[in-house]
Amino acid sequence: MPKSKNQFAGPNFFEETILDKEGNKIGDIRIKPSTVLWKPSGDHLFYSVTLDTFVQWIKKRRTGAKKVKY
């Protein structure tokens, strides 16, 4: 079968809106293959950190992050 000239392109990032318990928007988190971005509600620009930096940070004891089973 010949290669199709059109194709689907998957998303190049995942983005979710974070809401508090009352349903108010806290902000948006966007995850890319090499970057994690955070945009507080009302802001127009994201805060960005590389995935490598995030991984190093989240594993440090002072973050309070805990290993969990999902």
SS (H, E, C) the chain: CCCCCCCCCCCCCEEEEEECCCCCEEEEEEECCCEEEEEECCCCCCEEEEHHHHHHHHCCHHHCCCCCCC
Instruction: Summarize pLDDT for 11-60 with one digit per residue, the tens.
Output: 888 999 999 999 999 999 999 989 999 999 999 999 999 999 999 999 99
Domain ranges of the chain: 14-60
What's the whole-model pTM score? 0.76
